[in-house]
Amino acid sequence: PEKSLSYRQTLQMRRNYVGRSCKLHFEVSPLKIVRASRQYLYDESGNEYLDCITNTSHVGHCHPHVVSAGQEQMARLTTSAGFLNEQMSEYSKRLISTLPESLCVCFFLNSGSEANDLAIRLARAYTKHEDIICLDSAYHGNLGNLIEISPSRFKKLGNTHQKKDWVHVAPTPNTYRGKFHSETANPGLMYAKELRSQIVQARQSGREIAAFICEPVMTAGGMVVYPEKYLQFAYRFVRENGGVCIADEVQSAFGRCGEHFWGFQTQDVVPDIVTVGKPIGNGYPFAAVITTKEVADSMGEFSSTFGGNPVACAMGMAVLEVIDNEKLMSSAKSVGKCLIDSFRGIMPQHPMMGEVRGMGMMLGIELVMDKQSRKPAKEAAEILSYRMKENKIIIANDGPEKNVMIMTPPMCFTLDNARRVVQVFDQALRDIENDAASVGLTSNSESSGVTATMGVPLHVITESNLTRASDEEDEEDDPGAKRARYEEMD
């Protein structure tokens, strides 16, 4: 018989045995998803949710072509590091065929973080410099070095964390919230000059830049689309100062931007190093770094036990085939346009919709307390994500202030899906705005007032009805001492 834990047991055991810092979507009432297909997720009671956020399942959850490619290869051969494998040879050739000519050497790894870590190692080996410049709301991964170049994470570590001397932080070119707005003349150049002044300062204090790393469309910054020519100017300034340019394409690759296969192409630049992860294996752990011959040859030995194993490469190849066969890029372009146009269409009726931005299947809707002050409406965004969930739509609030509703759905997302999301969003946000208006909530109000007055639907599971010691079944195999030790950490 199929072994299955109840929702409660699953949650209870997760809380008991898994680190608290491993965040869940919908922290107060997390979903237990037991199966998924295309752009739909199913919970243990069979409820169907429209998935607007899982960009890892790029061509659709459990796509049969990708699944069978993985199953067949797994039955024949899994890892064989150190031996020739034709899947790797074929896949690297195919991947490179999607890139500009100069980017012609691949390295294979298992996660976006590993790929970014290797990119930095390559940049340092090639330039013989140490320093890295990143953007101020970046996230590049969970490894030690990457946290240091992920201000979105290290800022949260408080006073105990000191920015490392080899790290330089330039402002995110956000024309809605940053120093230069879209009305500024040539904001792309203005932001690139900010980056250049960071580089100049670093050099004046005797440091040298190895690389500039950024996402081509900045998901971590709240889906920031850069002003025209930003990357062209930025890359030029970095190269003039002896550094190389790394495009972190972990979120934006494989046609997600609609118009182009690679995110960097939307800014008409060619990086020196590109990193990919998440969607490359449609959910199977897989990642790659692609770089120039000169950069690749500058590094000493590299090895990864699982990187580029035949299963990963077979699945990666199947992903590329599905993107072509199902014309997912052009679908991302037209469905993405419908989403952006429809959200922009409802903006005038919504005092809290500050900006709608994005391209293809990457969308951000910034919520504000009012359009004048642009004060981030974090709690409204949080409530909205729960209200959407009640309506069986999964959307996340993210960005530095957690006030941007982010959409990065599987690429098979349809026009019907898009219309449904906009319709539910429209109604749910209107309710939130009406609640806010009825209590005279202004941008000056204490933010805690929002949750208190808006009837947040956070009643499903609360901390108080889920104390750790209450799950008897789980208690049987739980070493009491271990639990007590963990509880002390609360």
- Binding residues for ligand PMP, per CB under 6 A? 111-113, 116, 139-142, 215, 219-220, 248, 250-251, 277-278
Q: Shortest approach of ligand PMP to residue 59 CB, angstroms?
A: 18
Nearer to ligand PMP, 234 or 432 (CB): 234
Cβ 110 vs Cβ 285: under 8 Å: yes
Angle at 442 between CA 438 and CA 444, to 5 degrees: 145
Name the 3-class secondary structure at 288: strand
The dihedrals phi and psi of 225, each to the nearest 5 degrees, come to: -95, 125
Nearer to ligand PMP, 142 or 414 (CB): 142
Cβ 44 vs Cβ 11: under 8 Å: no
Q: Shortest approach of ligand PMP to residue 111 CB, angstroms?
A: 4
Q: Shortest approach of ligand PMP to residue 451 CB, angstroms?
A: 27
Give Cα separations from 135 to 132, 138, 139, 207, 304 (angstroms).
10, 5, 9, 18, 29
Q: Shortest approach of ligand PMP to residue 171 CB, angstroms?
A: 18
| Residue nearest ligand PMP, Cβ-based | 112
Nearer to ligand PMP, 131 or 249 (CB): 249
Distance CA(456)–CA(264), nearest Å, equals 40
Residue 401 is classified by DSSP as T
Q: Shortest approach of ligand PMP to residue 166 CB, angstroms?
A: 19
Which are the contacts of 285, defined by CB distance < 8 A and separation ≥ 6? 110, 111, 306, 312
Residue position matching structure tokens 């349809």? 414
Nearer to ligand PMP, 276 or 393 (CB): 276
Nearer to ligand PMP, 279 or 354 (CB): 279
Strand partners, 289: 107, 275
Nearer to ligand PMP, 215 or 474 (CB): 215
Nearer to ligand PMP, 278 or 387 (CB): 278
Q: Shortest approach of ligand PMP to residue 156 CB, angstroms?
A: 15
Instruction: Convert 68-80 to b/e letters by CB count within 10 Å (16 or more is b).
Output: ebbeebeeeeeee
Cβ 52 vs Cβ 392: under 8 Å: no
Q: Shortest approach of ligand PMP to residue 114 CB, angstroms?
A: 7
